[in-house]
Amino acid sequence: MSLLFSTYALGSPKGPLTLANRIVVAPMCQYSAVNGEAQDWHLMHWGNLLNSGAALFIIEATGVTPEGRITPACLGLWDDRTEAALQDKLSRARKLAPATPVFIQLAHAGRKASSATPWDGGQLLSMAQGGWEAAAPSAIPQLDGERLPHELSTGELKELIAAFVMSAKRADRIGIDGIELHGAHGYLLHQFLSPIANQRTDEYGGSFENRIRFPLELFKAVRAAYQGVLGIRISASDWIEGGWTPEETADFATQLKPLGCDFVHISSGGISPLQKIAIGPRYQVPFAKIVKDQSGLPTMTVGLITEPQEAEDILQQGDADLIALARAFLYKPRWGWEAAAALEGVVPSNERYWRCLPRAAQAIFGNVKVGQR
């Protein structure tokens, strides 16, 4: 039997959550919210990917404060208004698809906040363009010559923890099944972890133990407030000399485990424009294996995994437990169906699609029947 189409259970204080297969739709920013509120684009996008055959769908990076958004068009979950909009669009999308667990990625962009959308260049917005003051572990900009971010005080760190906790409670009220904290791609939590961005001289900077202190405190607080599945996405390497390393990632994950971490999602990069990434198929899988082997945590891998057999081989080799895809699902929204056809798996489907299958893939929806006269 294909491992990609075997079930997998993620634990939590609330009890295990069993996934129908090992395919995950990774978070993908859509830059389509208005004042943080989900829009009709999200309804279409989520409904589409909830019909993809994946066993788990993770909603894009969602700001816990307005200032924590990457762009003015990023999704938010910081007040009753943004909560209501997200609940409305998600509940409607779920009614249009097979029952599928949904997680949300809670995030703060740190010094990468106040950016233009990618199709508008993606660079730091001036105040005149609707930008705002970004906040970070240290007053070091993402790019040389940019406006300096505000260095967060210890009091502001406590406020940020409270914001993450409140967003987690809102996610729980909405009926979201799990939370992924965003500790990757050069955003706030990653900025604390990396000596490239974190040059503080207090208890939150300097040594490895100090740099992981705030992310650990934040994780512990969210865990205390939220009983569903809780994990974190981590950039395992900064791809730059003197930066955060895979070995530190494994150590960090090991320290998260006794705090109630239910999974880790391993990516890389994003902290500096000087990064030199060795991009190629499965290029981040070795990082996932290091973290999985050393921490023993359920591990998602992601990054240029495009073919069903690639995903299957990663699982068969024990390099990861779950396979996450992002852009591959934008290009092929039914990637899960194609993988099931290639690996003789079965995926859940909306009955309205039962008549669509080509003869070679008749079995991927299981024993379903339709009639007509």
Extract the tokens encoding 89. 């669009």
User: CA-to-CA distance for 109 and 18, rounded, in angstroms?
Assistant: 31
362-to-1, 98, 309, 336, 372 alpha-carbon distances in Å: 18, 18, 20, 14, 18
Give me the residue label for tokens 């999974």.
263
31, 187, 204, 226: the catalytic one is: 187
Contact 322, 24 (CB under 8 A): yes
343-to-57, 75, 272, 327 alpha-carbon distances in Å: 21, 36, 39, 21
Helix (H), strand (E) at residue 235:
strand 229-235
User: CA-to-CA distance for 277 and 309, rounded, in angstroms?
Assistant: 24
User: CA-to-CA distance for 236 and 208, rounded, in angstroms?
Assistant: 14
Extract the tokens encoding 156. 């502001």
Percentage helix, strand, coil for the chain under 3-state DSSP, each rounded to 5:
40, 15, 45
Strand blocks (E) in 35-101: 56-63
Contact 152, 171 (CB under 8 A): no
Give catalytic status of residue 226 as yes or no: no
Strand blocks (E) in 142-227: 150-151, 178-183
29-to-70, 76, 234, 317 alpha-carbon distances in Å: 9, 11, 17, 31
Contact 304, 269 (CB under 8 A): no
Compute, in degrees rounded to 10, the torsion defined by CA atoms 239, 242, 244, 248: 120
User: CA-to-CA distance for 72 and 83, rounded, in angstroms?
Assistant: 17
Report, as residue numbers or ranges, the catalytic residues.
187
